[in-house]
Structures are given as structure tokens and as C-alpha cells.
């Protein structure tokens, strides 16, 4: 059996609460005790090979050294970069992280993840790639736990976030292709009903409009940001012979578009230019190397965690986007 | 302020411990109380919008509904599959997971992760892609917490694991190339000093030996399983003109080899065949599609979690490997 605080208290002849406080690593909690008591307790703990039970300590000290992360269940290829940023700041402050997965688009599974995290008296919650239903947002507010959304800008003003401006992403990706002489541009693989998808589509449409290019509904093929969505989109785009360029909703979608285009004997980039969104490590693995609108995922993790740890002034902000150049976009010389 | 167990106890006129037990969801803990008391406590909790504090409950019930996962800090492209398996079984049993990251090859950072997890009174620990130093293995044993290693077979008999047989992986990958007529085969990108790397290299050497092919030290280029290791290895292999095939230590390494080979005007697979190891989703994204020795990552997560939850008989076992066929290996017709 593992040694408990009660064991130590019995041997030392003090109360369990005294032992908790002395072993808490928080001088403010044990400054009232005699130095001999403090050293005696520490010695007994050492002799008995005692390991802290954080639950017990946190109950006594009423402070939490844990941050909760809520992730969507479906795989992304950028969550790891955000978590690396979170991990970096958390380890500097000796704070642990708990991760719970929420289902995609399921109010019940979202609520389950929120409860899992909030019942563990975490110091703060980072919601990564998540949009909550209004019921769940109400629950989150009611927990009194500080929170911040990462990578998805939230529509309600009190739901603070650190994310890219998705309208700008859609605009910049489309504009980049237009600047390279393209006018027949598809927009594929995005989850249009989601905030992120709608904003990127709005940016795409605005870029077309600013260059007097007519919007065509058959050039927009929605999806769920996945590799297979790129494959499916390319199967449909095959029937549109004038198309010269594609804005893919994510790097994964772009990979699907490129690989399927190749099977269909359509050369990238000379016959079809493709731009991705995200700018992850995948861009170098894809052939040809992918041009992509790169988001600052690591920075989102860093900034979000710093704000939650400081808890002074949690605010929304946008992180930078930039064009990461690969070889998947060519200049269109003629029409 | 959030409602606490003490608030409910005061209003109901019972002890906090009674409230803890009744709100624990464990009938065995509150079967002794009168039904009126049980329903009164539940009603007050509901009225006050009380949310459980798991730390408090776990202290009273002495049971944990948490599994800890320890991951290496460096990115892998298979951890997500294992975690998906863990997550699947954990959610069936209403068990949460805590994830902590251990540094690669750092005894201190490993210990920190072990402490982080073990101090939270978890029900079990899943160590994913980790080999512990003997000091840290000693610490792990001393915690009295059940544990199992996933994806890395452990040399010490009491450190149970669910993993692939890495000797077989190395053997099978090499043998596959030999069966396709190759005799000049490199082995690149593996972390040779690690157990996994050494075993795969042993398998490679055994396959060569069984086919009377001489081992050449200049055909073995170590690495750390990463994309860039594939790039570096190909730079060195360029000087070896007779080489016709490569066993890459991982799919990521294979991607690096293939992309760099292409830049060096070496056609895949007609001039150079490449086989990867892992068989992750990356195989379809790479061009040409990668042939790879596929591991059963999802199954490792499933099996490991089931064993920890049952806690009856934790044993070591190997999961299946199979050859996932792509287009990166060609038959060598002449020498």
C-alpha cells in the first residue's frame, strides 16, 4: 500500500491537515509551523517513500496546477503544434495538462468533455478547434473556470479566442491565385456550415468580387477538411474543364486534390494550381511541395496558456497568417 | 463561487462525507442511507447547480476514474492512432485520460512525467513509445499503480508491453525487398541505440544473412525516425551507385528518402525501391504511395486499456504486422 498523509500524521503525532500543508510546497501554507515540525514531517515522508496525492493537496490549498484541454475527436494535423505551445508554457510554470476529447458536432459529447474537465477543478480550460452549442457555452460560463478558445474565432463576444482571421485566410489564398493569373478557381473541402468554413468562403467570394470574377456555385465543393474530401472534390472538378486553380480548405484536403489530380493525368502545377491552408509540416511531405496559407498554431498555444495562467485579462486576438511558398502554384500565362 | 459539498452538507444537516458518498454515483457507498436522505441530497445539489469535484470524490471513494498516458515529447505520426484506441475503451467505461509528456532520452524529464501522473492517483498508466532508465523503472514499480507499455517491447520481464515484434518488422521489410529481386539494400533513419532500432536492424541483418547477402556498414545510416533523417540519409546514399532499395525506419523517414531521391533525379520505384515502417495514413499522402510494414496501433491502445481497466492479468503480447502495399517498390529484373 502507498503511504498516505494519514500515515505520516499518525507517526508524527500531528493532524493530517498539518501534514498536507507542510508537504504542499507552498510556504504561505506552512509558515506558521515550527521549523522542527516541518523538517520532521519531511523526513518521515522521505523515509516512507511518500508520494504526493495531488487531489488531496489541491483540496487543502484550493489551487489547481492543472490546465484542461478539450480537443475534437477527429484527427487534425495542427493540434499537435498547438499542444506543443501549450506544453511549453505549462512546463515553465510546473503545470500539468489534462486532455479530453469532445465529439464533433455532438452537443452531448461536447458536454461530457466539458464536465470531465470542469469536475477536476482545473485552473483553466483551453478549447482547441471547438465551437460550442449555446447550451454548452452557457454551461462553460457557469463553471466560473477561466477559458479560452484556440484556433476557432467565436461569434459571441464573451467567448474569447486566439485564432487566425478566417476571412483573411480565404481572401489571401484566393487572391494569391488571382495574382498568378487564375480566374477559374474552385474552393473545396471546407466544412461550410461551420464558422471557420463560412468565413473562409466569404473571403474567397470577396476576393473574386474585388477582381470582378463571377462566383460559380459549381466551383464550391464542401467537405470536412479531410484527405478524402480532396479526393472526392477532384472527382467532381474533373467535369469542369476550364478550372485552373483550387483553394483547398486544409493541407490535408490539398494532398487529396493533388494525388487525385495526378491519377487523372492533370499536371500540378502547370495544368492545375493548388493552394492549401494551415502550412503544417505536411506541406514538405506532399509532392509537389505545397503552397499554403500558414497559421501560427504554436503561437496560439503559447499565448492562450499564458493568458490562462495569468488570468488577469483574457482577451481575443488574431495571430498572423503568411503565405508559405511551395511548388504547387504556377503562373497562368494565357486563357 | 461554485457550490461545494460542504454547502450542501450544511443545508441538508448532514456531514460532508455523507454528501460525498451519496453524490459518488457508486451505490455501494451510499446503500446504507435512507432513500429520503439520498433524494434530499440530490435535490439540493441540483438546486444549487452543484458540479462534482472529482478530487474530493476520489479521496472519499479511494477509486480513480482516470488513466494516465505518458507520451514522448517528439512528434510521432502513430501516437494519435494508439490514443484513439485508448480513448475508445476509456469512454466505454466512463474513464477520463490524463496525458503528460516525457522528454526523449532524458531521465529527469521522464521522472517528471512519471511523478505528474502517479501523484494524481490514477487507476493505471499507459506508457506510449517510451523506454525507461532503470532508476525510473524502479520508481514506476514502487508506485503500486498498474502500468503497461505500448508500442515499445521492454527488455525486463516484469515491464509488460503490447507492441509489434521489431525484429520481425526489420526482417519482413528486408525480406519483402529481397523477394522483389533486390540485393543492395540500405537501412536508414532508425534510432539504432534504442531497443526498437536495434531489433529492427537485427531483423534486417538476419534477412540478408538468410539470403547470403553480405552486410555492408555503409548501407546503414541511423537517424531519429524523422522526415529530415530520410533527407540526410538520401544525401549519403547518393554516393552508393549500386543501391537499388531502402528500408526506411518509419513512414516519415520514407517520405524524406522519396522526396530527396526525386530531387536527385532518381526515379521511384524503377530506379530505387523504398519500403516504410508503420503503415500510417501518411502512406496514401506520399507520392508514390508507400509500401510499408503496418503496425496495429489502434489495437495496441484497445488492448492495453482493457488490460489496465480489468487489472486481473496484465501480460505482454505482440500485435500483428502486415505488409501494406503501395507503389514504392518495384521488382528488380536485372543486376
Q: Taking CA B232 as the corner, what is the angle to CA B227 and CA B236, rounded to the nearest 5 degrees?
A: 145
Contact B141, B158 (CB under 8 A): yes
Q: Taking CA A319 as the corner, what is the angle to CA A317 and CA A321, rounded to the nearest 5 degrees?
A: 145
Place of cell 544525401: B235
Q: Give the C-alpha separation, B126 to B135, whole Å.
A: 18
Q: Taking CA B51 as the corner, what is the angle to CA B49 and CA B52, rounded to the nearest 5 degrees?
A: 150
Place of cell 492512432: B81
The pLDDT assigned to B334 comes to 62
Answer whether A54 sits within 8 Å of B119, measured CB to CB: yes
Q: Is the pLDDT of residue B36 over 90?
A: no
Contact B30, B40 (CB under 8 A): no
- What letter would DSSP give residue A1? -
| Interface contact B263, partner A, CB < 8 A | no
The pLDDT assigned to B76 comes to 72
Residues 6+ apart with CB under 8 A from A194: A131
Q: Give the C-alpha separation, B305 to A265, whole Å.
A: 46
Answer whether B97 sits within 8 Å of A97, measured CB to CB: no
The CATH code of domain A5-61 reads 1.10.260
Find the CB nearest A143 among B51, B87, B281: B51
Q: Give the C-alpha separation, A227 to A237, whole Å.
A: 15
The answer for A 108-137 residues in CB contact with B (under 8 A) is 115-116, 118-121
The pLDDT assigned to A36 comes to 84
| Interface contact B59, partner A, CB < 8 A | yes
Q: Which of B302, B305, B280, B306 is nearest to B293 (CA)?
A: B280
Q: What is the DSSP string of A250-286?
A: SHHHHHHHHHHHHHTT--TTTT-EEEEEE--THHHHS
Q: How confident is the model at residue A121 (pLDDT cuts 50, 70, 90)?
A: confident
User: Which residues in A lie closer than 8 A to residue B281 (C-beta atoms)?
Assistant: 75, 227
How many angstroms separate the CA of residue B93 from the nearest CA in chain A? Answer: 13
Answer whether B284 sits within 8 Å of A259, measured CB to CB: yes
Q: Please state the rounded mean pLDDT for residues B6-30.
A: 80
| Domain edges within chain A | 5-61, 66-164+298-321, 167-294
Q: Give the C-alpha separation, A261 to A287, whole Å.
A: 12
- Angle, in degrees to the nearest 10, between helices A227-237 and A251-263: 40
User: Which residues in A lie closer than 8 A to residue B1 (C-beta atoms)?
Assistant: 144
| Interface contact B6, partner A, CB < 8 A | no
Q: Is the pLDDT of residue A323 over 90?
A: yes
Contact A174, A323 (CB under 8 A): no
- Among A60-69, A192-201, B7-16, B247-256, the range with the most confident prediction by mean pLDDT is B247-256
Q: Give the C-alpha separation, A30 to A42, whole Å.
A: 12
Q: Give the C-alpha separation, B315 to A182, whole Å.
A: 60
Answer whether B98 sits within 8 Å of A101, measured CB to CB: no
How many angstroms separate the CA of residue A254 from the nearest CA in chain B? Answer: 10
Hey, which residues does B284 pair with through a beta bridge? none
Q: A18-22, A126-130, A327-331: lowest mean pLDDT where?
A: A18-22
Contact B260, B298 (CB under 8 A): no
The CATH code of domain A66-164+298-321 reads 3.40.50.2300
Q: A80-84, A264-268, B108-112: lowest mean pLDDT where?
A: B108-112
Q: How confident is the model at residue A56 (pLDDT cuts 50, 70, 90)?
A: low
Q: Please state the rounded mean pLDDT for residues B234-246.
A: 96
Q: Please state the rounded mean pLDDT for residues B243-254.
A: 97
**Cα dihedral B69/B75/B76/B79 (nearest 10):** 30
Q: Is the pLDDT of residue B106 over 80?
A: no
Sign of the C-alpha dihedral, residues A245, A251, A252, A258? positive
The CATH code of domain B166-294 reads 3.40.50.2300
What pLDDT digit, counting tens, does each position of A148-196 carry? 999 999 988 999 999 999 999 999 999 999 999 999 999 999 999 888 9
Q: Please state the rounded mean pLDDT for residues A18-24.
A: 81
Cis peptide bond prior to A27, omega within 30° of 0: no
How many angstroms separate the CA of residue A143 from the nearest CA in chain B? Answer: 7
Hey, which residues does A161 pair with through a beta bridge? A149
Residue of A nearest to B77 (CA): A77
pLDDT top residue among A305 and B113:
A305
Q: Please state the rounded mean pLDDT for residues A224-245.
A: 96
pLDDT top residue among A197 and A46:
A197
What pLDDT digit, counting tens, does each position of B150-201 carry? 999 998 899 999 999 999 999 999 999 999 999 999 999 999 988 899 999 9
Q: How confident is the model at residue A2 (pLDDT cuts 50, 70, 90)?
A: low
Contact B292, B321 (CB under 8 A): no
Contact A16, A52 (CB under 8 A): no
Q: How confident is the model at residue A46 (pLDDT cuts 50, 70, 90)?
A: confident
Counting other chains too, the contacts that B116-120 makes at CB distance below 8 Å and 24 or more residues apart are: B116/A96, B117/B68, B117/B69, B117/B70, B118/A51, B118/B68, B118/B143, B118/B145, B119/A51, B119/A52, B119/A53, B119/A54, B120/A53, B120/A54, B120/A55, B120/A96, B120/B66, B120/B68
CATH superfamily of A167-294: Response regulator (3.40.50.2300)
Q: Give the C-alpha separation, B150 to A313, whole Å.
A: 41
What pLDDT digit, counting tens, does each position of A74-103 carry? 667 788 899 989 988 988 888 888 888 786
User: Which residues in A lie closer than 8 A to residue B282 (C-beta atoms)?
Assistant: 285
Instruction: For B156-181, give one letter per residue: b (16+ CB within 10 A) or e.
Output: eeebbbbbbbbbbbbbbbbbbbbebe
Out of 3.40.50.1820, 2.40.30.10, 3.40.50.2300, 3.20.20.100, which CATH number does the structure's domain B66-164+298-320 have? Answer: 3.40.50.2300
Residues 6+ apart with CB under 8 A from A174: A185, A187, A203, A204, A207, A208, A247
The C-alpha cell at B153 is: 517491447
Q: How confident is the model at residue A42 (pLDDT cuts 50, 70, 90)?
A: confident
In terms of DSSP H, where are the helices of B93-194? 107-118, 134-142, 166-179
Q: Is the pLDDT of residue A308 over 70?
A: yes
C-beta neighbour count of B6 within 10 angstroms: 12
The pLDDT assigned to A234 comes to 98
Q: Which of A5, A224, A15 is nearest to A105 (CA)?
A: A224
Q: Please state the rounded mean pLDDT for residues A259-274.
A: 97
- What letter would DSSP give residue A117? H
Q: Give the C-alpha separation, B109 to B114, whole Å.
A: 9
Contact A151, A278 (CB under 8 A): no
**Cα dihedral B147/B152/B154/B159 (nearest 10):** 10
The pLDDT assigned to B55 comes to 58
Residues 6+ apart with CB under 8 A from A258: A230, A268, A274, A286, A287, A288, A290, A328, B287
Answer whether B143 sits within 8 Å of A101, measured CB to CB: no
Place of cell 491565385: A177
Q: Is the pLDDT of residue A313 over 70?
A: yes
Q: Please state the rounded mean pLDDT for residues B222-229.
A: 95
The answer to whether the A66-164+298-321 and A167-294 domains have the same CATH topology is yes
The pLDDT assigned to A299 comes to 97
Q: Please state the rounded mean pLDDT for residues A293-319.
A: 93
The pLDDT assigned to B222 comes to 97
Q: Is the pLDDT of residue B6 over 90?
A: no
User: Which residues in B lie closer than 8 A to residue A54 (C-beta atoms)?
Assistant: 55, 119-121
Place of cell 537485427: B202
Q: Is the pLDDT of residue A105 over 70?
A: no
Q: Give the C-alpha separation, A189 to A314, whole Å.
A: 33
Q: Is the pLDDT of residue A55 over 70?
A: no
What pLDDT digit, counting tens, does each position of B49-101 carry? 777 665 555 555 556 678 999 988 766 778 889 998 998 898 888 888 888 87
Amino acid at each position: 500500500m502507498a503511504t498516505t498523509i494519514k500515515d505520516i500524521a499518525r507517526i508524527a503525532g500531528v493532524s493530517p491537515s498539518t501534514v498536507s500543508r507542510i508537504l504542499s510546497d507552498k510556504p504561505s501554507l506552512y509558515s506558521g509551523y515550527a521549523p522542527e515540525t516541518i523538517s520532521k514531517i519531511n523526513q518521515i515522508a522521505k523515509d516512507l517513500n511518500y508520494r504526493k496525492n495531488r487531489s488531496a493537496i489541491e483540496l487543502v490549498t484550493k489551487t489547481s496546477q492543472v490546465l484542461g484541454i478539450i480537443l475534437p475527436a477527429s484527427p487534425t494535423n495542427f493540434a499537435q503544434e498547438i499542444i506543443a505551445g501549450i506544453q511549453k508554457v505549462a512546463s515553465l510554470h510546473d503545470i500539468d495538462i489534462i486532455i479530453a476529447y469532445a465529439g464533433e458536432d455532438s452537443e452531448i459529447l461536447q458536454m461530457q468533455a466539458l464536465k470531465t474537465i470542469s469536475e477536476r477543478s482545473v485552473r483553466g480550460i483551453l478549447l482547441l478547434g471547438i465551437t460550442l452549442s449555446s447550451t454548452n457555452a452557457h454551461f462553460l460560463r457557469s463553471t466560473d473556470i477561466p477559458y479560452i478558445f484556440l484556433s476557432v474565432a467565436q461569434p459571441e463576444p464573451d467567448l474569447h479566442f486566439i485564432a487566425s482571421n478566417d476571412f483573411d485566410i480565404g481572401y489571401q489564398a484566393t487572391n494569391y491565385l488571382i495574382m498568378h493569373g487564375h480566374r477559374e478557381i474552385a474552393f473545396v473541402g471546407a466544412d461550410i456550415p461551420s464558422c471557420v468554413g463560412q468565413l473562409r468562403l466569404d473571403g474567397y467570394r470577396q476576393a473574386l468580387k474585388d477582381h470582378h470574377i463571377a462566383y460559380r456555385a459549381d466551383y464550391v465543393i464542401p467537405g470536412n477538411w479531410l484527405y478524402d474530401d480532396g479526393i472526392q472534390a477532384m472527382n467532381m472538378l474533373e467535369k469542369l474543364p476550364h478550372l485552373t486553380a483550387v483553394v483547398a480548405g486544409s493541407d490535408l484536403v490539398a494532398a487529396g486534390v493533388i494525388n487525385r489530380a495526378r491519377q487523372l493525368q492533370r499536371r500540378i502545377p502547370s495544368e492545375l494550381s493548388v493552394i492549401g491552408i494551415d502550412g503544417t509540416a505536411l506541406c514538405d511531405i506532399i509532392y509537389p511541395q505545397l503552397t499554403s496559407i500558414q497559421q501560427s498554431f504554436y503561437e496560439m498555444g503559447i499565448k492562450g496558456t499564458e493568458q490562462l495562467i495569468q488570468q488577469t485579462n483574457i482577451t481575443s486576438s488574431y495571430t498572423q497568417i503568411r503565405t508559405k511558398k511551395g511548388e504547387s502554384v504556377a503562373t497562368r500565362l494565357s486563357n
